[in-house]
Amino acid sequence: MQVWTKLFAKSPFKPLIKHAEVVLETVEVLEKALKAWEMGDCETMRNYARKVDDLEDFADKIKQEIRDSLSSKLFMPVNRGDILRYLQMQDKIADAAENTAKWLLVRDPNDIPEDIKEEVKSLIMKMSQESIKAAKLVYEAIVQMDRVIESGFGEKEIEREYEIIKEIESVEHKIDELDTKFMEIIFKNSSRLEWGVGMYLLNIAKTLSNISDKAKDAAERIRLMMNK
């Protein structure tokens, strides 16, 4: 009698964790691309940027599979809609990373004025490191959500989850500050910059800060999953 195996449906949490893993990898590879960009190694940068694109595709596929399997026939401890919206946000983190990679592929960064070059590059690298932190925290948050359910919504585990969410929010805040500072530098020097270079740099920063924005949105969704 196979009823037991049918009665317990496959939990969406393992695939969600898998998806978060791929998203994290996407952001990590983007950082490698940015490192190559900082060094001026365009060849390596392009290779990594293309890999970011592949990983984003992979994340998309997992997302689609989870969506297909999450039919309304399931009875789950968290709201199905919350899970689907969370998944969408988690996937957008990879999308944001891909957008940065796209800008990297558009042109080579060889005409930034020498006097601001170092500062611009170090700010971008800081932002990318923080983005990885955000993606890692999102991964931790969904692993922790699994634990929250495992413990039958134990208070201790919920508390830990709130801590992770707060950390994500603080990382997002930090990146926002870096982004503002970056914009200030670009506009202060706008008269010396070719418009294309300015736009290129601003967009790299914008798309990078988008990664943590989406991470924050995902964290918000996890908060909703716990309040039922």
Partner 1 sequence: MIELLSDPWLLITIAVGFFMAWAIGANDAANSMSTAVGAGAITPRQAVLIAGVLEFTGAYLFGKSVTETVRKGIIDVSQINDPNVIVYGSVAALFAASLWLLFASKFGLPVSTTHSIVGGIVGYGIVYAGTSIVNWGRLAQVVASWILSPVFGAVVAFVVIKLISRTILQQKDPIESAKKWVPFWIGITFVIIGSMFYIKVMHEDSMLIAVTKYGIPIGTGAFLISFVLLRRNFKTDDPYLGAESIFKKVQVPISAYLALSHGANDVANAIGPVAAVYTVATMGLAGMEVPVPKWILAMGGLGIAVGVATYGYKVMETVGKKITELTNTRGFSINFSAASVVLIASALGLPISTTHTVVGAVIGVGLARGVKAINKEVVKDIVISWFVTVPVAAIVSGIIFKILMIAG
Q: Length of the chain, please?
A: 228
Residue from the set 2, 110, 191, 227 that interacts with partner 1 by CB under 8 A: 2
Most distant pair of Cα atoms in the chain: their distance = 76
* CB of residue 58 to partner 1, shortest distance in Å: 24
Q: How many CA atoms lie within 13 A of 91 on its CB side?
A: 19
User: Taking CA 181 as the corner, what is the angle to CA 171 and CA 199, rounded to the nearest 5 degrees?
Assistant: 105
In the 8-state DSSP scheme, what is residue 65? Answer: H
The answer to whether 227 contacts partner 1 (rule: CB under 8 A) is no
In this structure, are residues 181 and 202 in contact, taking their beta carbons and an 8 Å threshold?
no
Q: CA 206 to CA 199: how far, in whole Å? A: 10
Write out the binding residues for partner 1, residues 157-176 only, by CB under 8 A. 157
The answer to whether 195 contacts partner 1 (rule: CB under 8 A) is no
* CB of residue 9 to partner 1, shortest distance in Å: 4
Residue from the set 40, 153, 184, 196 that interacts with partner 1 by CB under 8 A: 153
Which is closer to partner 1, CB of 75 or CB of 195?
75
Residue from the set 155, 191, 195, 227 that interacts with partner 1 by CB under 8 A: 155
The answer to whether 17 contacts partner 1 (rule: CB under 8 A) is no
Q: CA 111 to CA 138: how far, in whole Å? A: 36
Site string for partner 1, 65-104 (x = CB under 8 A): --------xxxxx---------------------------
The answer to whether 3 contacts partner 1 (rule: CB under 8 A) is yes
Which is closer to partner 1, CB of 78 or CB of 112?
78
The answer to whether 152 contacts partner 1 (rule: CB under 8 A) is yes
Q: CA 84 to CA 15: how far, in whole Å? A: 12
| Residues touching partner 1, count (CB under 8 A) | 27
Q: CA 190 to CA 26: how far, in whole Å? A: 32
Torsion of CA 51, 56, 60, 61, to 10 degrees: 20
* CB of residue 220 to partner 1, shortest distance in Å: 21
What is the identity of the amino acid at 26? T
Which is closer to partner 1, CB of 6 or CB of 115?
6
The answer to whether 12 contacts partner 1 (rule: CB under 8 A) is yes
Q: How many CA atoms lie within 13 A of 136 on its CB side?
A: 9
**Interface contacts to partner 1, rule CB under 8 A:** 1-13, 73-77, 149-157
